[in-house]
Amino acid sequence: MSFKELVFSGVQPTGNLHLGNYLGAIKRFVELQNNHDCIYCVVDMHAITVPIAVWGGPEGLTRATREVTAAFIASGIDPKKHIVFNQSQVHEHAELAWVFNCVARIGWLNRMTQFKEKAGKDRENASVGLYAYPNLMAADILVYRATHVPVGEDQKQHLELARDIAQKFNNDFSESIAARGFGDMFFPLPEPIIQGPATRIMSLRDGSKKMSKSEPSDYSRINLTDDADAIAQKIRKAKTDPEPLPSEEKGLEPRPEADNLVGIYAALSDTTKADVLREFGGAQFSNFKSALVDLAVAALGPIGGEMKRLVQDHAYIDAVLADGSQRASAIAGKTMKAVKEIVGFVGR
């Protein structure tokens, strides 16, 4: 059985989108839309798996959902050609997630490193939703029978789990699937797309930590809505070491801060780290940083400006999400109808 190529990905509505979110996800979504059908989802149901103080409560969630949508559009995703929507408006995500709760094994979820990190020491007090998070993520993808999923390194394990769930569903229900004319596989086994020089953008203050919205110092990250002055200041203050830039990539290995800045340059200019070092090998950081400021301001300035304008326009953003949700529902509804038949639920 072969499946039509379809790209699906999700971004959590956490406030304060930064360069890591852009280079690790959104920029790649923009590139993929040129030769694929794409569905991009603001995963608001995943957002509430952590304590309410973390996701910011109702106003925070609403604001962050509109902010991610604005970032998608400002970055160049075309919501007319592709589908942009928020998860909670398409109820089939939750429905399929329940079925997957009954397909996935507790042992599989116990291996998820992200749960262990997010739950921390007090695991008894984590929400059930945080534990079942990867099952909902599998449902997000498979309710569209999507085949390709652009994600960062940190989501690779969740994607493997989605494949395991798809495979177990296909096996457990193989007779029912075949009898109802769906061939030998109902769900595809979705593939991650993890590529490019900057799948992990690190803090500007500490090259061993991921760039994060929860790091106290704002100098650790470049926010998508930072203006040119803020971008310049943060890059000039970014931590480096006293040596000039190496001329080969292996020279970056023991130098996490240099590696990070070179990776950011490469990602923003659509080249490789090797190419960047061919140009800047031997240069002092002050010179390299000036070039990086120019590049970052040129790439991010227009996106930030457009984002700030769009987030004010609630009517437009909400209409984009409503239209996307309607088109997503048309696909998800068909899948869920078939899943109900396959499982044996009585109904229309």
Judged by the rule CB under 6 A, the positions of this chain that interact with ligand TRP are 8-10, 12, 43, 46, 137, 140-141, 149, 151, 155, 158
Q: Is 36 helix (H, G, I), strand (E, B) or coil?
A: coil
Q: How many Cβ atoms sit within 10 Å of the Cβ of residue 184?
A: 9
User: In angstroms, what is the minimal distance from the CB of 69 to ligand TRP?
Assistant: 15
Q: Residue length, the chain?
A: 348
The contacts of residue 17 (CB under 8 Å, 6+ apart) are 26, 67, 68, 71, 213, 223, 224, 225
User: In angstroms, what is the minimal distance from the CB of 152 to ligand TRP?
Assistant: 6
Amino acid letter for position 143: V
Of the pair 21, 220, the CB lying nearest ligand TRP is at 21
What does the DSSP assignment read for 178-225? Answer: HHTT-TT-SS--PEEE--SS-SSPBPSS-TTSB--TTSS-GGG--BTT
**Known catalytic residue: 334?**
no
Residue nearest ligand TRP, Cβ-based: 10
Alpha-carbon span 326 to 217, nearest angstrom? 40
Of the pair 129, 251, the CB lying nearest ligand TRP is at 129
Q: How many Cβ atoms sit within 10 Å of the Cβ of residue 182?
A: 18
Question: Where does residue 107 fall: left (phi above 0), alpha (psi -120 to 50 degrees), or beta otherwise?
Answer: alpha
Of the pair 141, 262, the CB lying nearest ligand TRP is at 141
Q: What is the chain's alpha carbon radius of gyration, rounded to the nearest angstrom?
A: 21
CA distances from 200 to 19, 23, 210, 283 (A): 10, 8, 7, 24
Alpha-carbon span 46 to 62, nearest angstrom? 14
Of the pair 10, 207, the CB lying nearest ligand TRP is at 10
- Which one from 118, 168, 239, 308 is the annotated catalytic residue? 118
Of the pair 12, 69, the CB lying nearest ligand TRP is at 12
The contacts of residue 266 (CB under 8 Å, 6+ apart) are 197, 198, 272, 273, 275, 276
Of the pair 240, 335, the CB lying nearest ligand TRP is at 335
Report the sign of the C-alpha dihedral through residues 279, 284, 290, 292, in that order.
Answer: positive
Q: Is 150 helix (H, G, I), strand (E, B) or coil?
A: strand
- Which one from 168, 210, 239, 337 is the annotated catalytic residue? 210
**Known catalytic residue: 239?**
no
The contacts of residue 214 (CB under 8 Å, 6+ apart) are none
- Which one from 4, 80, 156, 213 is the annotated catalytic residue? 213
Of the pair 86, 220, the CB lying nearest ligand TRP is at 86
**Known catalytic residue: 118?**
yes
Which residues are part of the catalytic machinery? 118, 210, 213
